[in-house]
Amino acid sequence: MQDTILILSDRPDRQVKQLRASLRALGFNVLALPLVDVGFDSRYPSGIAVPRMNGALPAAVIVRSISSGTFEAITRRLGILHAFAHLGVPVWNSAKAIERCVDKSTTTFFLAQAGLPTPETFAVESIANAKAIAERELMHGPLVLKPLFGSQGKGIRLIRNLEDLPEPGEVDDVYYLQRFVARPGPPYCDYRVFTCDGEVLGMMARRAEGWITNIAKGAKAEPVEGPLRAKLESLALAASAAIGTDFAGVDIIPAADGRLLVLEVNSMPAWTGLQSVVPVRIADCIARALAASIEEELDERPAA
């Protein structure tokens, strides 16, 4: 089973199907199942039980989703990913990278520590602390409230006054507030840049009539042309390196004053919209890069 790639996903979506086809074309067996089904099992030498693998380990793991759950459940699932890495199994993306991406406040922390331009951000617990920040910061312009854990533009709110702050129960008493970035529009635009193994596979502009420019919310994908590409590529690669991703979707927003700001780094990105405007096959590129990583890992192992 050492030629098996394990794809961890809650459902066989388009990305999983494309990855499966690309990996099989390279000669790998592919097993796709939810991370919840993988367990610790001390009967096996590896200590991990993967369904249908009879105690064997995969050659590599690709994480497409880890699903929602209790603190205990998520901790256990991340523990499985850490264990795979401890055993020398390449995990794309690693538990560390996922932890840094899934928590937007941690993403912002590492982007800022790397000196990358990102909107001013505040993350606190309790409505009292959120109101204190809003009272201080709203005089400088609106804020955006985002779910700490979330994607595809869900749950985003514009905060113009104290009354716009939701009750604690609506946000699990955690308030992630980011400076609203004024930009030209409508239509409004931002950029998604897809990185893999230190390279940019492609990028797209996302345009929408509203200021939330996610493809899942109805934004249209367009190719990016001209000298802007080099600036976006440089920022995206630096952001990926700061977070430590093997592949990622990096969201970059253009401010009205011409600055480019990194908003988020997504460790489990979809690429359906991007694939519609770039010539390379994203799944093929990920599969080839992962295969090269597996070969490199084998070459570095000491001879038996």
High-pLDDT (> 70) share of the chain, %: 95
Res. 299 pLDDT band, cuts 50 70 90 = low
Q: What is the pLDDT, as a whole number, of residue 210?
A: 85
H or E segment to which residue 104 belongs:
helix 104-113
The predicted-structure confidence for 164-217, as pLDDT tens digits, reads as follows 999 999 999 999 999 999 888 789 999 999 999 999 999 999 999 888 887 878
Contact 172, 149 (CB under 8 A): no
pLDDT(155) > 90:
no
Burial 155-186 (b: 16+ CB within 10 A, else e): ebbebeeeeebeeeeebeebbbbbbbbebeee
Q: How much is the pLDDT for 69?
A: 87
Three-state secondary-structure class, residue 173: coil
Average pLDDT over every residue of 67-92: 94
Note the Cα 33 to chain centre separation in Å. Answer: 19
pLDDT in tens, 44-58: 999 999 999 999 999
Is the pLDDT assigned to residue 1 strictly greater than 50? Answer: no
pLDDT at 82: 97
Mean predicted confidence (pLDDT) in 150-166: 83
pTM exceeds 0.75, yes or no:
yes
What integer pLDDT is reported at residue 304 of this predicted model?
Answer: 42
Q: Choose between 132 and 148: higher pLDDT.
A: 132
- SS3 at position 273: helix
Candidate from 177-186, 257-266, 277-286 with smallest mean pLDDT: 177-186
Angle between helices 228-243 and 104-113 (to 10 degrees): 110
Nearest to 151 by CA among 212, 91, 85: 212
User: Where is pLDDT greater, at 2 or 139?
Assistant: 139
Residue pLDDT, tens place only, 231-256: 999 999 999 999 999 999 999 999 98
Q: In this model, does residue 14 exceed pLDDT 80?
A: yes
Give 152's contacts (C-beta < 8 A, 6+ positions apart).
214, 215, 216, 217
**What is the arithmetic mean of pLDDT over 143-152?**
79
Domains of the chain in start order, with CATH, are 4-92+286-300 (3.40.50.20), 101-117+183-270 (3.30.470.20), 121-179 (3.30.1490)
Asked if 117 and 132 touch (Cβ cutoff 8 Å), the reply is no
**Predicted local distance difference test score (pLDDT) of residue 265:** 96
Position 154 scores a pLDDT of: 65
DSSP state of 34: -
Among the residue ranges 67-71, 80-84, 162-166, 226-230, the one predicted with the least confidence is 67-71
Lowest mean pLDDT among 26-40, 99-113, 164-178, 205-219: 205-219
> Residue 274's pLDDT is what?
93
Nearest in space to 96 (alpha carbons), one of 210, 213, 217, 265: 265
